[in-house]
Structure 1
Amino acid sequence: MADALAVPEFPMPRAARCPFDPPPGLKELQDQGPLAKVRLWDGSEPWLVTRYAEQRALLGDARVSSDIDRPGFPPKAGSEGGEGKLSFIMMDDPEHARLRRLVTAPFAIKKVEALRPAVQRIVDGLIDDLLAGPQPVDLVEAFALPIPSLVICELLGVPYEDHEMFQSNTKTMVSSAATPAQRNVATREIAGYLATMIGKRLADPRDDLLSSIAGRISTGELDHQQATEMALLLLIAGHETTANMIALGTAALLEHPDQLALLRESDDPKLVASAVEELLRYLNITHQGRRRAVTEDIEIAGEVIKAGEGVIVVNEIGNRDPEAFEDPDRLDITRDARRHVAFGFGIHQCLGQPLARMELQVVYGTLYQRIPTLRLACDVQDVKFKHDAFIYGVHELPVAW
């Protein structure tokens, strides 16, 4: 075991004046090598994986488990009351693959593209409201949150008038400042709501994803609890992450006016798509890494990760690896950043990434053209960044034009 004083603590703080960059401590560890031991809140010392090649290798290795019940799985701070499994993302094959297949179809690229006109109408309508309303305005509340919320509500079949309930509870669930008891209460409230909705769809099916999930209960493929957990995962993943990327991406572009000008002045959908990929690379919002447990000894990068040890894959620094991306700390929307690991890699990479990409393309391709003078209404140092959440972003983004 390494000298206790030599093992850095994780997670690490970001530099106050560099809110779009990974913590400096991660960069230092990456410079030293692809693997390092770190200390967590409970005293455990998992391996931190900082370089792109090793991250992809481990995330694609069947000996690396997503099951939080495995020995050595690195716990998040505040999870001493139990993290709980959020459906299939915290399971291994074959059960992971069986459950994931049940909800793959609605997120296929062709299905997602069919939603693009509806998403465009939502975005245009919200921009109309912005232009008609007072200034300054909080872009998170008035724009970034409603877009993915409206989309996932439509997809699932959840009434949008209930969005404030699940948004407030989701905020608690992803807050590292919340206690385990507070997160459990928030989880139970949303889960109870969805369980009731699924029961209604069992009795009265409709053309929505909740009805499809409920139908799997009727066929015996899911029990009611599994169906509820799956709906909960899709509801949270369907709005929290995309909302943060909309607001954080806008903040980053406003701080890089040359890149914003390129995007604003182009009608090329390929450049818009490229901007989305580069912003995903540059602003990875998974704040505390992808956590795994190793089930068999793995030799990698001159080290042996032993069975029963934990690993944390910090994609935010992997996406800044100079071996994978030239001049990685520079935001360049013209670069080919499609190889980024913002959505993970391997069998657990994000199921909803086609939907997230499409929503971001519509937003980034519309907002800055329709409001070309958009600007921050405060100094960037006064923006409230989410240093207290598992998913990074901004609490508020005051803007004017």
Structure 2
Amino acid sequence: MSQSDLATPDVMTANLTAPDIEHCLSFLIEADALKSVLRANQLMDRTRFENSAEHSWHAALAALIYAPLAGADVDIARAIEMLIVHDLVEIDAGDHPIHISHDPASVRALEDAAADRLFGLLPAEIGTRLRSTWEAFEAMDSPTALYAKSIDFLTPALQSIGAPEQLDEERAIVEANLRQGRASRIAPNLPALFEFTLASFEGRATDPVMQARFDFWCEADRLKTVLRATPIMDGSRPENSGEHSWHVALWALTFAPLAEKNVDIARVISMLLLHDIVEVDAGDHPIHGHVTPEALAAQDAAEQAAADRLFGLLPEGEGAALRAIWEEFEAAETPAAIFGKSIDRAQPVLHNLVNDGGSWRVYSVTLAQIDTRVGVKVARGAPALWPVIRERITPWFAANALAD
């Protein structure tokens, strides 16, 4: 399945009112808490346990990478939507590791209550749309949901296998999952990926094309250790670029009704999943930092070299297709890229506001600078969004004498 096969999700076409946008922002602020829900598996570098937000991004990226394995009846865009929202209920219900026994009825009740609360924060039509996406994933009664679930079930095993250091306890969990656990049950849905996972676990030779996709996905794991200037919304630590990529994809999915009718939301979401991938090599560069023309040129050169290396890991045609998505976002000339850029610029503003200034204080940012560095780009792609955000932030800048 090629990138051109990605279907556009069904979204509202009516404009949102300012109160609707406020409700969406409240939902997206609440969704940030997923970055603090820890899972049982570790990052590939073994520095810490993964959180559910960055897992959701990495799983959605896997759905994009392994799209050529999906059947013709699988809607890849819809599967990616499912993986973006699938763990949101863990904000209230928590994560439930597969190697620990749980009462399914109790877990389901907790998750249903979480879905009621979280999706209930949204305007009715958007809340219904996102909840139906989550419910379709949970039901597993369509080829698209089975594809998304298969990716979700296999990624923890792939993450363990991709780590340079293998842990005995973790290998035991992975083996049980692959041989008789839930991962074993999805073998008929994605046989090539299941066989690759099993062969990799057992140390057998693997298909070179499958290995190339896996190598790219493993490199992407490093994005979870690239720290940004903005903190997560509880202020406990800096946000990383992996969880940021998940969050802005959720922003785009939520604010899809704000996009112009000619914007392909599925492509926007693919852009946002990929937009920071070059930071694996090139690092993050805060927009409010001291930037000179020489620094910008050096940054661009580093990112192009990173794109050469990272997308070059993939099979030739597949790497070129994903790089084209990344380059389109960077150029910000198409309707999809313009909307994606607006979302990418809007998200950190809420982080800083919730954290009493966050990186604004670090870099002594003024409201006028926000207008020129952020507001113009947000308004270009989502003109209804910026006035609502600006109204939220103006009192903070006035109170902190940073309005000019």
Q: TM-score, normalised by structure 2?
A: 0.30
Higher relative contact order, structure no. (Cα contacts within 8 Å, ≥ 6 residues apart): 1
